Structure 1
Amino acid sequence: MKRDTFTLPLAFPGELIVDNFAGGGGTSTGLERAFGRPVDIAINHDPEALAMHALNHPHTQHLCESVWDVDPIEVTRNQPVALVWLSPDCKHFSKAKGGTPVAKHIRGLAWVGMRWVALCKPRVLMLENVEEFQTWGPLLVGADGLARPDPARKGKTFQSFVRQLRGHGYTVDWRELRACDHGAPTIRKRLFLIARRDGLPIAWPEQTHAEPTDRRVLAGKLAPYRTAAECIDFELPAESVFGRKRPLVDNTMRRVAKGLMRHVL
C-alpha cells in the first residue's frame, strides 16, 4: 500500500509508535515503511514471537509480558504517542473456530486499547482482526459449563467498544479490506478499525488490483491480482506429496487435488 494509505502523518519528534500483540514483525514492518522510522515499543507475552520481532526490528524496545501487565505511562515515560496498534488474538472470533467454546479473557484482549486511550491519549489507535470481530458480544455459559457467544446479543460489546472510543473524543470508522485488492498476494479479508483524535480525516486506500478478467484490469485501470506463486522459489528442492514416509492426511491430499484441477489441469 502507499505510504499515505491511512493518512497518518509522519510522527512528530518525540511521539511514539506502539505495536501491541507484536508477532514476528510484519505489522511493524508496515508501520516502519509508513513512518520512515522504526516502531518504538513492541509488546508480546510469547518469547519466541518477540525474539523473531527483535531480529527483524533491532531498534525497537521489546517488552516480553502480557499487554495487561504493561503500564503505558511507565513504558512511554509520559511521552506523547502518535499511534497505538492492536492485533489481538483472533482465534476466538474467527469462523474457523466453529461452535467450539471460547474464552472471555481472550475475546476481551482488545479492551487493553482503552487503557492506552485513557492514560496516553494517542493521536490514533488502529485495530486489525478477522471480520467476525464485529460480532463481539456477551457470552452464555451452557449446561456443559462452557462459554459460547450469545446469539441474541451479537455485536453488543463491539458497539460498546466503539462508543467508549467516541466518548474519549475519537472519531471512529472501520472497514473490511482484502490485501489482494491493494497489491498483496493473499485473498484473506480482515477488519480494520481506525480511531483518531487529532482532527484529521480518516481516509481509506483505493483499490489498485482486481481479478485478471475484471473489466477495470482489461482496461488498464487496475493491475491484476498478484499470486502466491510470485513468493515461491520453484528452484528449491522440495519433497513430493507422494511416497512420503508419513503420508499426508486425506484432507490435505484432497486440497492438493482440488488445486491441481482448478489451476493446472
Structure 2
Amino acid sequence: MKREIIVDNFAGGGGASTGIELGLNRHVDIAINHDQAAIDMHKMNHPETRHYCESVWDVDPVEACNGHPVGLAWFSPDCKHFSKAKGATPVNKNIRGLAWVAVRWAASVPVRMFMLENVEEFLTWGPVVDGKPCKLGKGKTFNSFIKALTTGIKPNEELTKQSGLKTNHSYWREAVVALGIEHNPKLKLQLSKGLGYQVEWKMLKACDFGVPTSRTRLFLIARKDGDPIVWPEPTHGEGLQPYKTAADIIDWNLPVKSIFGRKKPLAENSMKRIAKGLEKFAFTDAPFLAPDPTKISFITEYANASHQRNMAIDEPLRTICAQVKGGHFALVTSHIVKFRGDNIGHGTNEPLHTISAGGFHFGEVRAFLIEYYGTGSAQEIDKPLHTITTRDRFGLVMVKGTAYQIIDIGLRMLEPYELFKGMGFPADYKISHDSQGKKLTKANQVARCGNAVPPPFAEALARSNYKPLSIEIAA
C-alpha cells in the first residue's frame, strides 16, 4: 500500500497548509488553487508541495493521487456567495456549488478524512432562483450534500416545489449536474447509496485558539475510518490563557500621521468615525494605553503659531510645558478604526475583527495627550471631540478622572504583515515578494491574508483528528 497523502484544495496563500504542517509536522503533498498569485505565495512558503494552478474541477483526483490514498483532504470553497456581508449582488450558483468538489474527491479516490471550512451561512445552502437564494429551499442543498456523504440521495425523494418555478426542484439533479456525472452511472450509484462518512460540523472562533482576531467560521469534519471525530478544546478565553488582541499585532514602532493638515484631507465621515471611536474606546475610565509611549511616534502641535512644533515623545515637552506649568511626558491611547459599514471599530485590547480579502479597512488611531492644569489654549467644552472636524486643534478629555489636553491625533492603516500576524501566521511567513523576487503590492498581500484560513484553526483540527496509519508507522 502506498503511503497516505494530504491534499489542500482551495489552498490560497497557504493558511490551512501552514496549520496542517504545524499540527502534524509534515508538509501538505498537493495544493490546488486557480489563482497564480496565491499559488506563488504558497510555493514560496511550501516548496515541498506539488502545486496545481488550476480550477479544482480541472484537477483529476485519480491522476493527482497516482495510487496514493488520501489521509486528509482540506476544502475551503469560496464563501462570498454565502456570506452575510455579500449584500444584494446576484448569486453565482457555480461558485455557490463549489463544495460539491469534496464529494467528487471522496467518490473518486480513497479519502479517509476531510475537513471543510466556510462561513456559518453555508448551513443555509440551497438552490438559486433568478440569481437569488430560494427561501423555500433554504438549507436543503446542504442537507443533500450531507446525505451524499452519509446515507445517500434518493432521486425520487429529493423534490421540492419552489417559489417562482412551475416545476419541482430536484436536489438529486442539482447534485448530479454540479458533479458533472450525468453520464457516469458508477458515480451516480455511489451518490444514491452514500459514501458512508461520519459527519459533524461546528462553529469555532479563532480567538479561542490563540489567534488575535474574532473571526468565526463553520468547520465540517467527515471521516470513515471508525475513529471518533474530535473537536479541539479552546486554549484561550475565560479561565484559560488570555485572548490575544489587536495590541499584540500592532508594530508600535511605526509612526502615525496626524489627521490634521494633510495635503488631501480625510473625508468628513472618516473624521466622524475617528471622533466616535476616541469617545468610545480611548477617552474612558479605562482607556487602552500604548505599551511603551516613549517609543511611539512623535507629537505634532497644531495651533495658531507661525511654526508647527514637532517633538519627540521620549523628551519632556518643554515648549508646551511652559504653558501648562511643568514638564510631563505624553499619554498615548490607541484604538482600531474600521472604515466599513456603520462599525466604528473596537478597542486595541480586543481581538481584531474579521479581516477580508480587501483588508485595507483597519486603521490604528493614536491620541497624544498631556496632563492639563487649567491654563493654556485648551478649550473646556462638553463634547471636545467634535472639534476634530473644525479648525480647533485642542480639546479636553477626562481619563480616569484626570483632565488631559489633546495635542494631536494620528492615523495609519495596518500593514499587511500586521494583518497576517492577526490571522495567526508565523512571523517568518514570506509575503512581501514573489518567487521571482518582485515586490508584491500591499493589495496583493492582503488579498492572500483575507482569504486565508487562520493556521491555528487547521493546526488544532488536524492534530486532534489525524493519526498516521499503523502501516505507515511500521514502514
* TM-score, length-scaled by structure 2: 0.48
Q: Distance in 2 between matches of 1:247 and 1:17?
A: 51
Q: How many matched pairs?
A: 240
Structure 1 match to 2:280: 262
User: Any unmatched runs of 5+ in structure 1?
Assistant: 1-11, 142-146, 211-216
Instruction: Give the match's secondary structure for 1:153.
Output: coil
Q: Where does 1:206-245 land on structure 2 (aligned, <5 Å)?
A: 206-210=233-237, 217=238, 221-245=239-263
Q: Are the structure 2 counterparts of residues 153 and 28 from structure 1 closer, same or farther at C-alpha, using a change threshold of 3 Å?
A: same
1:27 paired with 2:16, answer yes
Q: Are the structure 2 counterparts of residues 56 and 256 from structure 1 closer, same or farther at C-alpha, using a change threshold of 3 Å?
A: farther
Q: Distance in 2 between matches of 1:253 and 1:120?
A: 56
Structure 2 match to 1:155: 139
Q: Give the C-alpha shift of residue 69 in structure 1.
A: 0.3
Instruction: Give the match's secondary structure for 1:176.
Output: strand
Instruction: Give the match's secondary structure for 1:42.
Output: strand
Q: Are the structure 2 counterparts of residues 96 and 36 from structure 1 closer, same or farther at C-alpha, using a change threshold of 3 Å?
A: same
1:117 paired with 2:77, answer no
1:203 paired with 2:230, answer yes
Is the 2:34–2:56 Cα contact (8 Å) retained in structure 1? yes
Structure 2 match to 1:131: 120
Instruction: Give the match's secondary structure for 1:17.
Output: strand
Q: Distance in 1 between matches of 2:268 and 2:57?
A: 42
Instruction: Give the match's secondary structure for 1:96.
Output: helix
Q: Distance in 1 between matches of 2:41 and 2:62?
A: 26
Q: Distance in 1 between matches of 2:84 and 2:148?
A: 26
Instruction: Give the match's secondary structure for 2:99.
Output: helix
CA RMSD of aligned residues (A): 1.9
Is the 2:27–2:48 Cα contact (8 Å) retained in structure 1? yes
Higher relative contact order (CA 8 A, sep 6+): 2
AA in 1 matched with 2:214? I
Q: Distance in 1 between matches of 2:270 and 2:13?
A: 26
Q: Are the structure 2 counterparts of residues 245 and 52 from structure 1 closer, same or farther at C-alpha, using a change threshold of 3 Å?
A: farther
Q: Distance in 1 between matches of 2:208 and 2:24?
A: 22
Q: Distance in 2 between matches of 1:46 and 1:250?
A: 37
Q: Give the C-alpha shift of residue 222 in structure 1.
A: 1.5
Structure 1 match to 2:62: 73
Instruction: Give the match's secondary structure for 1:105.
Output: helix
Q: List structure 1 segments (4+ residues) > 6 angstroms apart after TM superposition.
A: none
Q: Distance in 2 between matches of 1:51 and 1:42?
A: 11
Flag the structure with larger Rg.
2
Q: Give the C-alpha shift of residue 103 in structure 1.
A: 0.2
Structure 2 match to 1:169: 196
Q: Distance in 2 between matches of 1:57 and 1:76?
A: 18
Structure 2 match to 1:182: 209
Q: 2:96 aligns with which of 107, 117, 137?
A: 107
Q: Distance in 2 between matches of 1:233 and 1:59?
A: 32
Is the 2:2–2:67 Cα contact (8 Å) retained in structure 1? no
User: Any unmatched runs of 5+ in structure 2?
Assistant: 151-193, 284-475
* TM-score, length-scaled by structure 1: 0.85
Q: Give the C-alpha shift of residue 97 in structure 1.
A: 0.7
